[in-house]
Amino acid sequence: MTCKAASIVLSCLVSSLLAGFLVLTSSPAGAGTLIVNARIVDGSGLPARPGAVRVAGERIVAVGEIPLARGDTVLDARGMVLAPGFIDTHSHAVDTTGAGERTLGKLPEAIAAVSQGITTAVVGADGSSSLPLSVAFSELERARPAINVATYVGHGTIRLRVMGEDYRRAATAQEIETMRGHVARAMEEGALGLSSGLEYDPGIYSSREEVLALAQESARHGGRYASHIRSEDRDLWEAIEEVIAIGRDTRRPVHISHMKLGMKAVWGQDEKFVGMLDAARREGIDISGDVYPYDFWQTTLVAMFPQRNLTSVAEARASLDDIAVADGIRLTIFTPEPALVGRTLAEIAAERREDPALTLTKLASAAAQAGQDDLATMAGMSQQDVDALILWPQANVCSDGSLVDGHPRGAGTFAKIFRYYVREQKLLTLEQAVHKVSALAAQNAGLRERGRVQAGYFADLVLFDPAALTDRATAREPQLLSTGMSKVWVNGGLVYDDGRATGVRTGRILRSH
Ligand SMILES: [Zn+2]
């Protein structure tokens, strides 16, 4: 008996040594971090489970019950949630729109992003990107950002490059051919696909045929299409049809950026909105969308003039009646007269003893004529619609924000999902929320080996107490950082630790191939 018992013990010892040895060979001694005592929410949407995760180098190498190996650095998660790093599928962390010194290249620690758990920013949104991408990629690589960056190539940027200032017209066949060349090159350089901003200059002047031709070029290289659609208000339904048609023609995934019902006349029609998308999906079109969790947006004053008659008081008045009221429009950037930042259109008009519609024409004209930057937050959505769109199963979360933003979405979006949707409203379970900010986001942007806590995946991870993660940014104080995120790893490097950037910056450019 004793002998037998001894032999069992011995064989157990041998197998555990063997197991230890195998672990040691697959993860070099001293190079691994073993995160124990975690509540793993893996991104799939399945229930949280207790367990450990081993990270070696840039990858997750084991998940579950993992024996300690020699040289492991052990981290006790103390029962906190360990989830995939959050993926922001529509970010302005890298671009030139009013940002200048405030982009990732200049702020590589990306504190506004990592403090809410963002480990990957998808940029080049709204038709606006760097061009050529290769140059921007090398600049960004030199800056060594803390977070990963993937990008679309922007239709508007290409259009401007090809047509110059003469863009207020349809492009010729020759010009579209030249634009195709830019798309092809960007795809070879690693773009995820084509983005468009069809409510903005110069995209607003493009024909459907032009956009389709360029989306086809992107598709030919395996790319996808993401669109700030032609209208988020008066011509919303036709605009949705246009994206669906591009998905039908290209047979590649299409994505509606920051889905919204952006005028009172369409409020409450979320069922029609997602009904169109669901019908398209049943037809075999891979359509998805992203949403940011706020009932006000931020855009240029010029966007309030869909006909671009910037001096037309009637056009201004129509937008103030239908889209966003004067006391819901607050300037966040206004280079022609920076003192106006923080004020609402209603306040400025009252001070000038003017009709707000007249003031709007003057402000928009001043910004446009000087080619200067202006941005304003505009309250024009209903919270119920925002909620309904976020709950659509194919909707992931985006911020549409930048690292130093005049809108709270730049610093608050992802933490707000957990505070508002999970804790307060209980509209999403913890697991559903994590799914929408990780695995689903990766799928909707075409990112591989990210967005799940799974062996073999890149070690983009967040550790947080779901009862504590909270956004603090508001319309008046949009840059207040989120709190409650404990640790953030990007490609295995710990970039954020209890409220502070660590100085480790292990982000990468995620090329599509
Ligand atoms: Zn947009």
In three-state form (DSSP H/G/I as H, E/B as E, the rest C), the secondary structure along 212-262 is HHHHHHHHHCCCEEEEECCCCCCCHHHHHHHHHHHHHHHCCCEEECCCCCC
Picking from 337, 476, 472, the residue whose alpha carbon sits closest to that of residue 407 is: 476
Residue whose tokens read 């790893």? 489
Q: Where are the alpha helices (DSSP H) in 289-427?
A: 313-322, 345-352, 356-369, 383-391, 409-416
Contact 346, 360 (CB under 8 A): no
122 CA to centre of ligand 1 in angstroms: 13
197 CA to centre of ligand 1 in angstroms: 6
pLDDT at 371: 79
157 CA to centre of ligand 1 in angstroms: 14
Of the chain, the end-to-end C-alpha distance in Å amounts to 61
280 CA to centre of ligand 1 in angstroms: 22
125 CA to centre of ligand 1 in angstroms: 7
Q: Which residues have a Cβ under 8 Å from the Cβ of 145 and sit 6 or more positions away?
A: 104, 105, 108, 110, 505, 507
Contact 402, 99 (CB under 8 A): yes
pLDDT at 410: 97
Alpha carbon distances (Å) from 443 to 102, 340, 437: 29, 41, 11
259 CA to centre of ligand 1 in angstroms: 9
Q: Which residues have a Cβ under 8 Å from the Cβ of 7 and sit 6 or more positions away?
A: none
310 CA to centre of ligand 1 in angstroms: 21
45 CA to centre of ligand 1 in angstroms: 28
131 CA to centre of ligand 1 in angstroms: 19
pLDDT at 81: 98
453 CA to centre of ligand 1 in angstroms: 30
88 CA to centre of ligand 1 in angstroms: 13
The token pair at 400 is 């549409």
- Tens digit of each residue's pLDDT, the chain (513 residues): 333 333 333 333 333 333 333 333 344 444 699 999 999 999 999 999 999 999 999 999 999 999 998 889 999 999 999 999 999 999 999 965 444 577 899 999 999 999 999 999 999 999 999 999 999 999 999 999 999 999 999 999 999 999 999 999 999 999 999 999 999 999 999 999 999 999 999 999 999 999 999 999 999 999 999 999 999 999 999 999 999 999 999 999 999 999 999 998 999 999 999 999 999 999 999 999 999 999 999 999 999 998 999 999 999 999 999 999 999 999 999 999 999 999 999 999 999 999 999 999 999 999 998 777 889 999 999 999 999 999 999 999 999 999 999 999 999 999 999 999 999 999 999 999 999 999 999 999 999 999 999 999 999 999 999 999 999 999 889 999 999 999 999 999 999 999 999 999 999 999 998
The token pair at 155 is 């239709």
pLDDT at 370: 75
133 CA to centre of ligand 1 in angstroms: 20
Contact 172, 205 (CB under 8 A): no
pLDDT at 513: 80
224 CA to centre of ligand 1 in angstroms: 17
- Whether residue 202 is preceded by a cis peptide bond, meaning omega within 30 degrees of 0, is yes
38 CA to centre of ligand 1 in angstroms: 37
229 CA to centre of ligand 1 in angstroms: 8
Picking from 254, 294, 283, 266, the residue whose alpha carbon sits closest to that of residue 390 is: 294
Residue whose tokens read 């930057």? 373
106 CA to centre of ligand 1 in angstroms: 23
370 CA to centre of ligand 1 in angstroms: 22
450 CA to centre of ligand 1 in angstroms: 24
pLDDT at 28: 45
Picking from 355, 339, 342, 276, the residue whose alpha carbon sits closest to that of residue 475 is: 342
The DSSP symbol for 438 reads T
pTM: 0.91
Contact 504, 108 (CB under 8 A): no
53 CA to centre of ligand 1 in angstroms: 37
Burial of 114: CB neighbours in 10 Å, binned 0-12, 13-18, 19+:
buried
The token pair at 345 is 């259109």
The token pair at 280 is 């398209």
199 CA to centre of ligand 1 in angstroms: 8
95 CA to centre of ligand 1 in angstroms: 13
- Whether residue 50 is preceded by a cis peptide bond, meaning omega within 30 degrees of 0, is no
258 CA to centre of ligand 1 in angstroms: 7
Beta bridge partners of 287: 254
pLDDT at 29: 46
331 CA to centre of ligand 1 in angstroms: 17
31 CA to centre of ligand 1 in angstroms: 42
SS3 at position 431: helix
126 CA to centre of ligand 1 in angstroms: 5
386 CA to centre of ligand 1 in angstroms: 15
SS3 at position 21: helix
Cα–Cα distance measured from residue 89 to residue 79, given in angstroms and rounded to the nearest whole number? 29
State how beta strands 118-123 and 148-151 pair: parallel
381 CA to centre of ligand 1 in angstroms: 15
253 CA to centre of ligand 1 in angstroms: 18
One-character DSSP codes across 279-296: HHHHTT--EEEEE-S-SE
* Ramachandran class of 48: left when φ > 0, alpha when ψ lies in -120 to 50, beta otherwise: beta
325 CA to centre of ligand 1 in angstroms: 20
214 CA to centre of ligand 1 in angstroms: 19
141 CA to centre of ligand 1 in angstroms: 26
342 CA to centre of ligand 1 in angstroms: 21
